[in-house]
Structures are given as structure tokens and as C-alpha cells.
Structure 1
Amino acid sequence: MTDSTQWVTVHDTAYTNTNPNSCVEVRIAANLLSWDIPDNRYGDKLPLIPSSSRVQHGKILYHLPIKATVKSRTGVPLSNRTLSIKSDRAHDTVRISGPTDSDGCAIVILESRESGDLSLSVMDDNITAVPLRLTLKEAWYESTFLITGYHVCFESDFTGEPVFAHGTNDYHKKDFLYSARGVVMQGTGKASNGRYIRPTQVNSGWHRNNHGNRDYLNNPDGVAFTYTNSVQGAYNPVTENHSIAVDPDVIPKRAQVNIEMVGNRFADDTGSAIVGHHIDNFFGAGAAIQTTWEIGPINNTQRKVKYIGFGS
């Protein structure tokens, strides 16, 4: 059969035994099947992660439609033909849309929560097909994500008088340490000496202003601090231009993703307000960088996100 854009010639090898006049019989069915992976909504052939799917045991759901076309060796489409297709991995699910249509086409849906290599084969005796070999790793989320950002406080943005920070043997601005905009509220802050600082003990309630909002801790002496090398997220240390907070039911913890116009980020953190298709990008410390982020083109926009997997 002549090669074309739809069909390829299959080459294989076989070995005869040592007996004189021996031969190998190779049977090729008269009907031929070709595979095609249609472009997805983002213009490539990667699997999609369905909007309704949720992470299970740290694994996303790969969903990949595949077009299977069956024709006779003379090029006549085989319509109304029910196909039998299986994966060589037991944990993959293969569904077929129905019998082939008038063009001999049927849509095969592959779903799996396992990354790695696999092969799809046609089980029908009277159909010849080269196994379709696939590698599941990267995938697009079907839904776009709302992209927001968060930061930690920076001592340079505060104006209070220096007070002793128990546990550090250093002095830091009072409002940086104890106010509702400061370290005790945010969990971590960046001190003027360039080091991160976080509370290790908070034995104090909040004073409330005339509007009923928290402003300062009532008992600063009940608070102790320590220096730390980084901001600690739910799963890993959080660093700017690297870490994001996610809903772990949508993006697995510690997984790497690529966010449109942002770049590659790692799911190092979570947040009570981060639910569903929402990513909170950590952009550092201080009011200046917060302003830059808020007036930039990304904050509070919907962006497409590609799942990359685990590792650096």
C-alpha cells in the first residue's frame, strides 16, 4: 500500500528457523486502522484535565480524545463498525464513542491518572493497526484559572518605634511586629536586616478600634519570634517568582504548573480563600511590590494553566 498523509506502510521483521525451506507466515488483515489525535482547545495535542475532575491521591485526571479511522485496503470506509481497543496498562480507561460513522471514524477516549508510557492496540482480528504509543505527562487544565497574588509585610513600610522582639535579641518596629498589618497577622514578615521573622508564641488577644476592627495585640509581652530562612507554605518554603497557593483538590500539592504570562510555578501553599480554579501567586514582600503586581496585567485575570508534573 502506498504511503499517504492518512496511511503509513507497516514494516516488521521476522526470523526463520534453521530448517531448510522453512518460512514465517505473517497475516495482515484486510481492514486498516489509522490514529489521529485532534488538536485541543489550546491548539496542541496534549490531554486536557476536565473542569469537573478532582485530584485523587495526588494525581490529576488525563483526558485524551483520539480519532480512529477504519478503511478497507481499497480505501473504502467501514461504517457502523464497533471497535475493541485496549491499553497495555490495567489502570487506564478506554471508551469508544460508538460505532464508526460513514467516514469510518470513531472517537476513542483515553482517561488515566497515571503518567508515563502506554500503548493502545486494536483487538479486532480483521483490522490491522500499528499500536498507538503515548506518553502522559503534561496536560492543559480545561478551565482557565483566576490569578491573584499575595505577599508578606516588609519592615521598611512601617513607622513605629523600635521595640525588643523576644526570641531574636533584636529590635524591630512595633507596628511591624504587633499590628494587624504586621507579622503576627501575616504569619511571616521580612525585617529590615533582610531576614524573615515569624512568631513562635502568641499569647494575646486583639485590641479593636472604634470600627470594631483589630488593630494591635493587647499583650505584646506574650509574643515571641524567631528568624527563618524563608516564608513557610503549607507544603514547602514559599519564595517569590516560584511559589503559588492552590486548591489541592485541583492542583496536586508540590506539583509544577505553567501559568500564561506568569511562567512556571510550584504548588507550595494553600489558602482558605483559594478554592477551585484559583491560583494565588506569591510575589514577595512589601507595599511597593504589591502595588506593582496590582496594577500589572495579570492580577484578577483568567489565565490558561498547563500541568507539568513533579520535579524541578
Structure 2
Amino acid sequence: MQSIKTPILKFTGAHMADAIIATANTNSTPGSIVDVSVEGIVCRLSIEKNKYFDTLPIIPTAARVENEKILYRVKVKAELVQHSNGKMACGQALNIKSNRSADKIISNGRTDSEGIMFLTLETYEAGSLELSSSTPGVTSASLKIVLKDAWYESLFLITGYNVCNEIDFSGPLVEGTGLQEKHKEDFLFGARGIPMQGTGMDTNGKYISLLHMRGHWIANSRGAPDHVLSQDTAFQYVSAVKGKFGLVKENHSIAVDPHVIPPRAQVDIDGVGLRFADDKGSKIVSYHIDNFLGSGKAVVQVWLSEGVNGTHRRVKFLGD
């Protein structure tokens, strides 16, 4: 007979659902007895539902990314019952510990008048962990938790951004340093073109990026940047738009505040879908996501017609 670890004791109280509170190993000897020690108080641990009515962890509004990791917060409920009579153990001291040293447990240390204590688990470490009681006289089965996906507590402002497309420009065709073909002058040197945006798509569907701009902007009559001089700029053909953390793809990449969403992280935006944090922007601060739309005015018009731009939406962090 093979030794098998199996639950052998359940406890049912007036305010507690059936809960396995002890396990033991059987052995190969017929008629053998397995001793299980159950203390005077039984503790049942469970995960409380969050504001979105599931048991995923929450990423607190005030939390900031550390070492490209998000802060997980989980609310846990501890119910204590006296083993001898099934009554709730009110005012009972209770200490809950994790099997991982990096995890932080926050509680008031005692059960309330209904024998219940709520505690908070906070950690930057994803993966599996177990919570259990370390209080003498209290028996509890371990609560196993896997930290991976999590909801952001705050909603995000959703906007969109694009790069320029040569089809939206009307200037004469001119040469540019580093380019094999002529392109529209205002596309290459104007304030709405590549010098301001860094990258643009030409009429053949190829991306052109600014290699360098050594001069300064020539202002218009209102004092705003108008154009740069051709001799001060150089360009190069590139395969894609380059973001701060990787190549940027339309309706795939987003610009984020890396203090809130880690670089290269994957998130699920309500009503938008899966996106990757491939970029950041100077104006993208805190709970703001900028969705990369592609190139040209047409993609912006489509985006604005969908009713997403400027709305606040919940976002789920998707762990590895």
C-alpha cells in the first residue's frame, strides 16, 4: 500500500463552512492508527473579494513600481472557532505568517466580536506562497495563494497617439540627407513632421526616423516652431517605430508611466484589449495610458469615433 497524504478531519461551526484543518499520511500497515493533533481553536483562512468582485490582488493607487515589479495587495479573512463547542473565538490573539520572507502581513492582531480578523498581505514578489497561523493553541490549514494577474485599484485615463504620415502633407518633393528618394518638404522639415515626432511613414509605407538635428527650430510669426533647415538634419529608414522600451506596433503598444506600469508589461484594458508597455512619454504621468494608433490622420479619426479616447477604464496587470 502506498503512503498517501489525505485530509482526515473536517470542522463545521455555526459561522464556518466545512474546512479541512488537518492532513496526515496513511501507511501500509493494516489497521494502523494515524494521530492528528488539533489545538483548542481552529482557524479558517480565505481570500476576500476585491472591489471588482473577484479574488485577484489589487495594485494600490499609492503604490509605485520597484525594480520593475508591481505591489500586490490581498485581503484575507481569518475565522476562529473553538474546537470543543463550535463557538466563535472572540478577542483571540492571532498571528499569521507567510512562508516567504519578502511578504508583509498587516493586521490588528485579534479577532472581533464575531471571531473574525481581516489581514492584508502586501508583496512585490509574484509566484506561490502559503499563509498559516503561528499562534500557539490555534490549528489552521495553509492558505495557498498564487500571485500573477492583478487589478489596478485606480482607473486609467485612456488616450491615443500616432506618428505622421507623408500622405497628409502637401509640400514640394525635396531631398533629405540619408534618404534614397525625395519626400515632401514639410514632412521632412516641418513642425508637424518628422523633426517633431521623431518618426514618420512615407507614401510607400516605409518608416523614416530622424537620425540627428544639429540646428534649431525656425519660428513662425507667432513665435512657435515652424521648420528646421535641411543642412542641419539627417534621416534613416527603419523597420518600425522605436519606443522607449521596444519597437512600437499599432493597436499593440502603449506609452505608460513606468512608475505605475513596469516597462514591457502586458495589461488588459477594458474595452480596448491586450496591450504592451513599449513606450513612455513626458506627458504620460501616473494613471494615464496612451495607445499607439499607427500613422497619419485617418487612424486618429477612427480612434476618436470609437468613444474610447478620454475615458477612464479599469486595467488588469497580466503577470508572466
Relative to the length of structure 2, the TM-score reads: 0.91
Kept in 1, the 8 Å contact 2:245–2:278? The answer is yes
Kept in 1, the 8 Å contact 2:131–2:143? The answer is yes
Q: Among residues 198, 201, 225, which one is paired with 1:190 in the alignment?
A: 201
Could you give the per-residue CA deviations for residues 82-138 of structure 1, whole angstroms, max 9, x where no partner exists?
A: 101110001001121341011100001100000000000111232221100000011
* Aligned AA (2:190): S
Q: What corresponds to 1:54 in structure 2?
A: 64
| Partners of 1:309 and 1:135 in 2: CA distance | 11
| Partners of 2:162 and 2:22 in 1: CA distance | 59
1:164-243 mapped onto 2 (5 Å cutoff): 164-217=175-228, 219-243=229-253
| Partners of 1:128 and 1:37 in 2: CA distance | 18
Q: RMSD of aligned C-alpha atoms? A: 1.9
Q: 1:206 to 1:16 in 2, by over 3 A?
A: closer
User: Where do 4+ consecutive residues of structure 1 move more than 6 Å?
Assistant: none
The answer for unaligned runs of 5 or more in structure 1 is: none
Kept in 1, the 8 Å contact 2:149–2:316? The answer is yes
The answer for unaligned runs of 5 or more in structure 2 is: 1-9
| Partners of 2:179 and 2:24 in 1: CA distance | 74
**Residue 303 (structure 2) pairs with residue 285 (structure 1):** no
| Partners of 1:152 and 1:273 in 2: CA distance | 16
Kept in 1, the 8 Å contact 2:265–2:277? The answer is yes
Query: SS at the partner of 2:261?
Result: coil
| Aligned-pair CA distance for 1:8 | 2.2
Kept in 1, the 8 Å contact 2:72–2:123? The answer is yes
| Partners of 1:308 and 1:104 in 2: CA distance | 35
Query: SS at the partner of 1:170?
Result: coil
Q: Among residues 153, 160, 164, which one is paired with 1:149 in the alignment?
A: 160
| Aligned-pair CA distance for 1:211 | 1.0
| Partners of 1:180 and 1:306 in 2: CA distance | 37
Q: Among residues 55, 62, 86, which one is paired with 1:75 in the alignment?
A: 86
1:86-125 mapped onto 2 (5 Å cutoff): 86-125=97-136
* Aligned AA (1:96): S
| Aligned-pair CA distance for 1:273 | 0.5
Q: Among residues 261, 264, 272, which one is paired with 2:282 in the alignment?
A: 272
Relative to the length of structure 1, the TM-score reads: 0.93
* Aligned AA (1:143): S
**Percent of aligned pairs sharing the same letter:** 43
